[in-house]
Amino acid sequence: MTGREPWRVRVLDDETAGMGVFPTYNQRFTLADEWSYGIFEPQSCCALPGKRFVATASGKEGRREVCLITGLSESDSQPLYSIGETTIFVACQVLSPPRHVEGGRFVQIRPTDGPWCIWCNVSNPGEMTWTIQCHIGGTCATHARTCAVSEGAAIDLQLVLSQGELALQIDDEEVGRFDHDPYPERFSLRFGSAQEIDAGEEVTSTFRTVYVGDAPFLFTYVDVPQGPEDLRPKEDAWCEYVCPATLQSPRHSEGDLIELRNGALLLAWSEFAQGKAQDWAPARISAKFSTDRGRTWGPTRVLAERDPRFNHATPNVSLIQAGNGDAIMTYVETLPDAEKSSCGHVVLRRSEDEGRTWSPPVRISPDTGYAHMAKLFCRTASGRILLGAREYEKVDQADFGGVVRWPYALWSDDDGRTWHAGAHVPDPGLSERLRLLQNVNEPSVVELADGRLLMTMRSFAGGQFFSHSEDGGETWTKPLLSPLRGLCSPATICRIPGKDDILAVWNYAFGGRAPLHSAVSRDGGRTWRHLKLVERSTFYNCNYVSITFIDDKAYLTYDSSPLLLSLQTLEVDTDAAGLKLTVLPIEWFYRDG
């Protein structure tokens, strides 16, 4: 650890939120006719046929250059990329041009107002020439690299951008490093086609993938650092896959862990055990037990098999120990007529014998005619048990599933035997598109030192939104964007035992649910300190964290799945995930990097 990473600010607050977080772009073009994830110019000359992006330039006015633009702020279209000490990695898979086109620039890539430009064209039958044009010291230097190629062949292209130098790699072979003038303070990147000749012949470029990030893209296998940073020799901490993905069970996700009254640990999760890993594939609640504080685990047991009357998965398992020592488990059953955007209802089961047998499921979410989900328990000083829940309200608009998600709290004052539903959080006032995408969603709740409750919710509008309750979760304040910035990924917040401090674990990133960060707040969430990496890997998503404090340690479970563009290297299916357990001393979260 260097401690000099730009995101590792001393105090994370509204002023420093988002500082040093690289706006990664990562796209495989899997959604035909879906334009919301990119900025295309002009859009009329671009196409998204399935898993490809196609740009056609013709030399006509307004069509001389056709491109996808990455690294722009959605709100004000201002460039976001900058290079100081940062290195930017660019990768794309493209199809070779069909033939030579006079004045044509196939697969043109350039930074806006930048010091270089690269493109290709067929030079002779079976040969393609890449042209690299660099501005340096007031002059323009042009370099050419020729390679053999067959028509329509897929080409893996990688560029490494550092201050004053461009490195080019084609099909895993470095073909040159080129000096150039410094970059502007901020810039974006353009991927597409160009035609230099007025009214020249059409130039069509086909991109299968585009990646821009601050970590190398994996075309070939490299050793990827994983697990928490800053683990010291002889420190009692460990990180392991308790449930690795297999062909039969390709996904293990949304886990939770508790200590039973006999001292054993119970770990439960959603196991997708029928060979499919997608969100709505069949799944069951499985479990393992440990009698040595999580160092080894027994065989897998099934706690809740998927009811054949219901559709899809049994997701979002949560565990808590009741006041009398019983184990309480909640999860979601999907309704017989549930659509993919409507999950079902929340049910509760109890165990009086250390998790060996369980009572029949009892519905605890309200019967409103809409679907409900819930995840992560919170217990207050008064003994109230809460679950962060959300309701999927159907609306008349079909875009993005035709639902609006509304967080609220389920609560019980009698050790989980009867339940009540609090009010929805007020409307955060997001745009219509963001409201239909996620609104604010997947809440986590914690009690603050002053007795108020704090709820965090993920959103596409910049990261985590915060809302407060002064009446135990029955009503909430209007959600506002918090310092915990990042992409739309669920966060987990909890109270550190014996302290007034709040621990947050979330993805402080915009390119994917990686890496996984933690921070501590001593003032109820206004400011955050001690930013740490719970999971260092930038190639694996980290999803749905649960946190359980036992003795002087924090037990974290989360599912680990390859990022979208690393799938072709790792040779796994989309959504495949293993369940990780990371155990860290509580003091680790207070150490600065």
pLDDT bin (cut points 50, 70, 90) of residue 29 is: confident
Q: Which of 544, 546, 566 is nearest to 556 (CA)?
A: 546
Asked if the model's pLDDT at residue 432 lies above 60, the reply is yes
Confidence category of residue 162, pLDDT binned at 50, 70, 90: very high
* Residue 566: pLDDT band with limits 50, 70, 90: low
pLDDT of 219 > 60? The answer is no
In the chain, the amino acid numbered 265 is: L
* Whole-number pLDDT of residue 24: 83
Average pLDDT score, the chain: 90
Nearest to 520, CA basis, from 498, 547, 555, 493:
493
Q: Kindly tell me if the per-residue pLDDT of 398 is higher than 90.
A: no
Rounded CA separation 494/569 (Å): 36
Please name which of 283, 293, 298, 285 lies closest in space to residue 242, comparing C-alpha atoms: 298
Entry pTM: 0.87
Give the number of other Cβ atoms within 10 Å of residue 55's Cβ: 27
**pLDDT over threshold 70, residue 572:** no
User: CA-to-CA distance for 560 and 543, rounded, in angstroms?
Assistant: 7
pLDDT band at 399, cuts 50/70/90? low
Between CA 312 and CA 341 the distance in angstroms is 12
Q: What is the pLDDT of residue 340?
A: 43
Query: Which residue shows structure tokens 């190629």?
Result: 149
Among 283, 292, 289, 342, which Cα is nearest to 317's? 283
In degrees, rounded to 5, the angle at the alpha carbon of residue 51 between the alpha carbons of residues 161 and 110 is 25
Domains in the chain: ranges and CATH: 25-213 (2.60.120.200), 238-590 (2.120.10.10)
Confidence of residue 453 (pLDDT cuts 50, 70, 90): very high
Res. 101 pLDDT band, cuts 50 70 90: very high
Is residue 307 scored above 90 in pLDDT? Answer: no
Looking at this protein, which amino acid is placed at residue 426? P
Q: Which has more pLDDT, 174 or 495?
A: 495
CA-CA distance, 585 to 549, in Å (whole number)?
Answer: 10
Confidence class for position 363, pLDDT limits 50, 70, 90: very high
**pLDDT tens digits, 281-306:** 888 999 999 999 999 999 999 999 87
The tens digit of pLDDT for each residue in 165-218 reads 999 999 888 899 999 999 999 999 999 999 999 989 999 999 988 989 888 775
Mean pLDDT of 208-235: 79
